[in-house]
Structure 1
Amino acid sequence: MNFWDFFWLLVWSFFFVMYLMMLFQIIADLFRDPDLGGGMKALWLIGLFFLPFLVALIYLIVRGKGMAERQSATVHRARAEADDYIRTVAGGSSSAQEITSAKALLDDGAITQAEFDRLKAKALA
């Protein structure tokens, strides 16, 4: 095996792995989309099985924007769930507790009214 055989093996391996990743993303997106009916999901999968390159290209053109939006929504939902879990495990205080402690600091004169308003807005956000 000479250098060029090895080089082309690497190039084709890269494109094959890239195609597999794209195919798995498409299949995951099919099952993630609640608006797409079961019959249409089955048709897309059958098409991906019989004409994989053509149907994958058509899918990316036709449904690519929605695919990105669904992926982004999934990431944001997962991040929000993780943040909520971390807050509950870390024993984070509620908004009311934060405002109460800020009010106590204001009454003691440790912070100004402007600082209290900023802390209150942060707690309510």
Structure 2
Amino acid sequence: MARAAIRAALAGSDDPAGRDTAELLTAELVANAVRHTPGGSRIELVVELLPKQCRVEVRDADPEPPAALSPHAPRPEPGPWQEHGRGLLLIRSLSAECGHLLTAWGKGVWFSLTVRN
């Protein structure tokens, strides 16, 4: 559902690579929220389309910030056989900016991309 929402939001963009990157990074954020949030908890997807930028935020009920997005967090590289640990690495590497913030009921993890319209 999150991938479809991003595809629909960016349907007017003439930047296929930007659309694909936004879809990939959104899927990573949503997958992390589903994996790390207790079952049955609310997860929200917020998409902001600005003139030259797309900002995506995924909000969940777990107030614990993702350590890998903290400014001074170690940046371990996942091993070749490790099944997890690449999502936030992709977000840090492919987004223009990323971070996290506290919300009234948990946290939001976000990224922004430059997108051509």
TM over 0.5, shorter chain = no
Query: Which is helix-richer, 1 or 2?
Result: 1
Query: Which is strand-richer, 1 or 2?
Result: 2
**Which gives a bigger RCO, structure 1 or 2 (Cα 8 Å, sep 6+)?**
2
Q: TM-score, normalised by structure 1?
A: 0.30
